[in-house]
Amino acid sequence: MIVPGHRAQGLAAAVAMATQQPLAGVAYDRFPDGELFHRITTEEMESAVIVAATDSADALVGLLQLQDAAGELAGSVTTVLSYMGYARQDRAFESGEPVSARALAAAISTGTDQVVLVNPHEPAVAGFFDAPTMVCDATPVLADAVDPVHTDPVVVAPDASARPMAVALRDALGRGAVDHFEKTRRSSTSVDLSNDGLTVTDRTVVLVDDIISTGTTMATAAARLLDAGATRVDVACVHGLLAGAAQTTLRRSGVTEIITTDTLDTAPATTTVADALAGCLRAR
């Protein structure tokens, strides 16, 4: 039975359809003092697959509560993290800093028999879980949403670490070339991008990354690509946080289309990872 987390209800329903499994009833409440009280209203289930996005502290607490409830009702619990918050802090850069991804993984591991992650920001995060963990790559899903106008695109990553994702998207498209920017981070909010040697003249571009948060980096990259002669730039990501004015920032930079999946209920999704997750759940 598929159990929807508060921040991934749409995806949970789509996964239930893709796996032909029933969708559990849930209630998301709060006590008068503001504390969360999430519960499962379906009383009988042999196994539970919780589909959740932990993009906030409340979402994490809600997931832990659903795990605890599912553990009482079902013989086994699988936790699908469509989006794992705090995954970007996968190491301590200075003395006294937490490894936030490790802390969250430890907490989540206590209430589940296995974990499925959708494109964690850092692959090493999968190793932090005490429960058996598999990674479901949703990059090929993005290819289905790329406009056919991209007959011979250049698929560009905003930095070298995202280049494998650009390669995976190009391979899923079955056409085009791959390139990436050289990125130097100056601060938590400022980055330098170098496009020396990146050739996009008279080509359409699909700019891809796993997460778009504020959109600043992708907007800077898109503007550089258009200045370098690209005829069109679309951006694609698995996790569309699109915080604050991200959509406006991207559009003002000249981006034509924003392609996102439904790993978060908050994103204006253009495609779904439900079938990809269904395949991963069948393979576990």
Q: Which helix (H) or strand (E) holds 246?
A: helix 246-252
| From 6, 7, 183, 224, the catalytic residue | 183
Q: Which helix (H) or strand (E) holds 16?
A: helix 9-19
- 86 as an active site residue: the answer is no
> Which residue blocks in 110-215 are alpha helix, DSSP H?
139-145, 163-173
Amino acid at 223: A
Using only C-alpha atoms, what is the Rg of the chain?
20
Question: Strand (E) positions, the chain?
Answer: 2-4, 26-30, 36-40, 47-54, 76-84, 114-118, 133-136, 154-157, 177-180, 182-185, 191-194, 204-212, 232-240, 258-259
What order do you get walking across the sheet with 232-240 strand by strand?
Answer: 177-180, 154-157, 204-212, 232-240, 258-259
Q: Give catalytic residues, as residue numbers.
A: 183
